[in-house]
């Protein structure tokens, strides 16, 4: 019955404003259109067709979401914020990748999606081959994760192996040779000072006797 998903139809309350938003702000290339009746943006096999709202219609918010894929969701959201776009949700980590949500001028949800290595996004795999493709990517992912964990486990096992290994007996430290004591050098006797010879004493001169005074005669 159905062959493929062809386009997402967005009805805008202000056609010119939404056209600038999808073309200039989000950077989607225009691939076709007719004056102010409609315009198509193409980025991959699915198209976005933008048309003005019909008279009396009101934008039905949160009923339809447009999904745009990117390889770097953080860089994409940063660029969008610089252009005045408000991020209403996320980014959120999921099994298939990371996603965030923004709103267009009429409040329509737009999902910004970064596929994981396990998701066959941007490869346009037929539905009949999706399961096999996911299994193949899952096996590749598990092998990569195992390779990442292996060095960590080896590091953790190394200390345990060292602790379990028998410790070698410590060798006694070699003794330093004790230097032989030197024999005391005999001290030379100090030279004696020569005793000066005594000079012979000079002979004493006899003391002359004084004559006793003569007694006076009576």
Domain that holds residue 17: 7-116
Q: Which two tokens stand for residue 217?
A: 């005669």
How confident is the model at residue 127, as a pLDDT?
42
CA distances to 89, 121, 191, 192, 202 from 195, rounded to whole Å, are 121, 125, 12, 9, 21
pTM of the model: 0.46
Total tally of structural domains belonging to the chain: 1
Whether 143 is in a domain gets the answer: no
Has residue 155 been placed in a domain? no
Domain CATH for 97: 3.10.180.10
Q: What is the distance between the alpha carbons of residues 60 and 80, in angstroms, rounded to a whole number? A: 23
The answer to the question of residue 18 being in a domain is: yes
Task: Supply the DSSP symbol for 14.
Answer: S
Q: Which secondary structure element, helix H or strand E, spans residue 111, and what is its range?
A: strand 109-115
Is 66 domain-assigned? Answer: yes
Give the C-alpha separation, 112 to 116, whole Å: 13
pLDDT computed for residue 124 by the predictor: 46
Q: Is residue 190 part of a domain?
A: no
pLDDT for 120 = 53
pLDDT at 74: 93
Residue 68, domain member (yes or no): yes
Domain-embedded: residue 37: yes
Q: Consecutive 10-residue runs of the chain (218 residues): their mean pLDDT?
A: 68 90 92 83 85 78 73 92 91 83 87 75 48 67 78 70 63 70 67 66 63 57
């Amino acid at each position: 019955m159905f062959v493929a998903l062809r386009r997402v139809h967005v009805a805008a309350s202000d056609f010119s404003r939404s056209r600038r938003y999808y073309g200039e702000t989000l950077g989607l290339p225009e691939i076709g259109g007719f004056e102010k009746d409609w315009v198509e943006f193409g980025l991959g096999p699915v198209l976005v067709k933008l048309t003005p709202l019909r008279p009396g219609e009101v934008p039905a918010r949160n009923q339809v979401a447009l999904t745009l894929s990117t390889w770097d969701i953080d860089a994409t959201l940063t660029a969008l914020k610089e252009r005045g776009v408000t991020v209403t949700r996320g980014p959120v980590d999921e099994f298939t990748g990371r996603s965030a949500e923004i709103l267009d001028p009429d409040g329509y949800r737009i999902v910004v999606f970064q596929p994981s290595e396990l998701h066959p996004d941007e490869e346009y795999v037929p539905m009949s081959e999706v399961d096999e493709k996911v299994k193949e990517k899952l096996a590749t992912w598990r092998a990569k994760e195992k390779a990442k964990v292996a060095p960590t486990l080896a590091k953790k096992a190394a200390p345990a192996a060292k602790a379990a290994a028998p410790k070698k007996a410590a060798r006694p430290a070699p003794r330093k040779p004790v230097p032989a004591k030197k024999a005391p050098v005999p001290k030379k006797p100090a030279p004696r000072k020569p005793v000066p010879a005594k000079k012979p004493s000079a002979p004493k001169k006899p003391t002359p006797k004084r004559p006793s005074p003569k007694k006076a005669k009576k």
